[in-house]
Chains A and B, each alone.
Chain A
Amino acid sequence: MKEDYDDLTIYHPNDDELELINSRNPIPLRKESGIVLRIHAVNREEDRGKDVFEEYAMERMGQLSVKNRIPILLAGDGDSSDHFWMSKNTKGFVFDYELKDNVLYYKAFFPLTSTNRPVVENILHGLYTKGSVGFAINPKDYICSACDRPIVSKECPHVPGDDGVFTKIKDVVDNFEYSLVAVPMVPDSGIPKQKGVILMQEEDVKVEENLVETEEKLEEIPVEKTIKINLELNEESKNLLASLENFSKNLTNDKITYDDTIQDNKMSEEVIEQKEEEIIPDSHAELMGCMKEIKDNLAGLHEKVDSLMAKMLEMESVEEPSETKEESKEEPEVEVKSTKKSFEERLNEEIPDHRKSVNDKLWERLTMGVN
């Protein structure tokens, strides 16, 4: 059942309708509080009881329906008939009306209270779609179509239904209610298809108004002016076409430039790769040369160290025979120490210099390669 209520939103009152409803309601209601349905009340066709409403009477019916905020009734269990005037049978009320195409429409609000919801469901599902107006007429306004006298007067000999005689309702004095019934006197009276009736009619009116306005404007424009406007438009179209062609050409040129740029970039990348291939091997060879030179220098240094160590040993062996005397024992040690010291000094002096010379050479080579 829930999915059937998804479309209820289209039946909720709009702002204007809600204002009308709330203007006389005990408390202000929200849109979601109920639904609005349009009811076909009466029309100007002869009904099953041979009655025909005149236009003025329908207008009065509409006015009184709003003035009296007439209830929408549905007879309940135990009620002897429809049009059973009990408050418990009230299911909604009329808050607005409209006369259109010889039909009087009521706009009725049906609250979605817990007790009223089943009734609304039955209405929306098509169970209760017929209805009947309940109103009062002054006897003098209930007229015979044959003699134009009140049908209830002694002067009128006619009976409705005989020889095409019908009764005209010229005016009404009161409007009491509208009841949902199974078989109404007015065959079309009831709750019609809502979407088509309400929304389409309003849309149709707008479309029609727009059409009329457009036609009026077209009539105001003289033929010569129209021709002139057409020629101007034609010229503008040609200019626009030419501009488009130019634009299209520019787009093609832009494409060529782009392709060329891509190609140039590829060429540049190839050149860089070639140069890298040329430079890197040379640098590598030069670096290897430097390393070899460093290695040779280190070898020379080792030789020098070895020769110095040999000299030192030789000097020590020469001094050893004087160990017999205590005094002479100490002196060679001093000499050896001095010799050792001088050797270390020499070593420290020579090696850094040698290192420096090697480093300078290496740095020179490297910087030359980079430059």
Chain B
Amino acid sequence: MDEPKDLNQPKEKDENLNDIENVIKKKKLNIKLNEKGYIIKKL
């Protein structure tokens, strides 16, 4: 599986994760991220 590019480097990963989590909160999306930064979906 391809690792998300953004998550390969710790600094960028943290920044991206934070950004993503902020968007999720802002848009009230019913999704969660795991420790690798993947979106966990339960449909």
Contacts and interface: CB of A to CB of B under 8 A. Distances in A.
Chain A partners chain B: yes
Interface residues of B, number: 22
B24 A138 contact: no
Contacts of B1: 173-174
A137 B39 contact: yes
A179 B42 contact: yes
Contact of A134 (B20, B27, B42): B42
Interface string B23-43: 110011111011001111111
B41 to A, nearest CB: 6
Interface stretch (A5-13, A89-97, A149-157, A285-293): A149-157
A159 interface: yes
Contacts of B38: 136-139, 173-174
A142 to B, nearest CB: 6
Interface in A62-82: 82
A38 interface: no
**How would you classify the secondary structure of chain A's contact residues: helix, strand, loop or mixed?**
loop
B43 A49 contact: yes
Contact of A139 (B27, B39, B43): B39
Given A151-B29, A159-B27, A136 B43 contact: no
B42 A185 contact: yes
Nearest to A134: B42
A192 interface: no
Nearest to A82: B42
A160 interface: yes
Nearest to B16: A139
A154 B19 contact: yes
A153 B40 CA distance: 16
| Cβ-closest 8 pairs across A and B | A185-B43, A136-B38, A137-B39, A173-B1, A152-B20, A152-B23, A134-B42, A159-B27
Interface of A: 42, 47, 49, 51, 82-83, 132-140, 142, 151-154, 156, 159-160, 169, 173-174, 179, 184-186, 189
